[in-house]
Amino acid sequence: MPVSALILAGGLATRMGGVDKGLVQFQSQPLIQHVIARLTPQVDEIMINANRELAYYNTLGYRVLQDEISDFAGPLAGMQLGLKHASHDLVLFVPCDSPLLPANLVQKLKTGLLQANADIAVATCGGNNHPVFCLCKKTLLPSLDYFLAQGNRKVHAWQKSQHYVEVDFGDDNDAFENLNSPDDIIKLESKLAQSTAH
């Protein structure tokens, strides 16, 4: 089953000082480039949800989709776009600020989804949920449209209202690390530098 992916890069990134998060440098490359490199072998289509820096995102060669709901409505607004515009029946969502996302993300989520005959598979790791790392069936669009139209914005609340399964990725927390601040980036870069030095 082919999979479309949408990278969520549409947020305000307040903790990054308002800099567009996908463009923040990590190991000398914009964060979004790391995410694209990790996703490319795993999916059949990549789309980007962005609301700023559109000129840059358009140079990457993928479809760039802007929120249809104004005022930075959060990840669900991006997910709505992904479900609406994806070419395939399964749609993966990932944030733009997790450069170490697992190489088996799609395979494991897809297996979990199909085994449970669920509509959404959500990644968990080390006992934590990661609702923006999820695989959804495109058929969920009407339900998400309705949820957003009611003024709801919580990703997890919508997911739990669907036929939903959690897929455990063990304890590799770095794989789901969100880099929310310049400090986070420095910490992760030095941690990786140390691990390659040993």
- Single-letter code of the amino acid located at 25: Q
pLDDT in tens, 96-106: 999 999 999 99
What are the DSSP calls for 78-140, one per residue?
HHHHHHHH-SSSEEEEEETT-TT--TTHHHHHHHHHHHTT-SEEEEEETTEEEEEEEEEEGGG
Integer Cα distance of 47 and 66 in angstroms: 11
pLDDT, average across residues 50-70:
88
112 has a pLDDT exceeding 80:
yes
pLDDT at 140 exceeding the cut of 80:
yes
What is residue 108's predicted lDDT score, i.e. its pLDDT?
97
Please tell me the predicted confidence (pLDDT) of residue 18.
67
User: Which tops the pLDDT comparison, 15 or 65?
Assistant: 65
pLDDT (tens digit per residue) in 82-91: 999 999 999 9
Average pLDDT over residues 52-71: 87
Given a cut of 70, whether residue 79 has pLDDT beyond it is yes
Per the confidence metrics, is the pTM higher than 0.75?
yes
- Tell me the mean pLDDT in the region 55-83: 87
- Mean pLDDT across the chain, nearest whole number? 90
Model confidence at 196, pLDDT cuts 50, 70, 90, reads confident
Mean pLDDT of the 141-149 span: 95
What is the mean predicted confidence (pLDDT) over 43-50? 96
Q: Which residues, 6+ apart, have CB-to-CB distance to 169 below 8 Å? A: 102, 108, 123, 124, 125, 175, 176
Go through the domains of the chain in sequence order and give each one's CATH number.
3-197 (3.90.550.10)
- In whole angstroms, give the CA distance from residue 84 to residue 176: 26
Q: Per-residue pLDDT for 174 more than 90? A: no
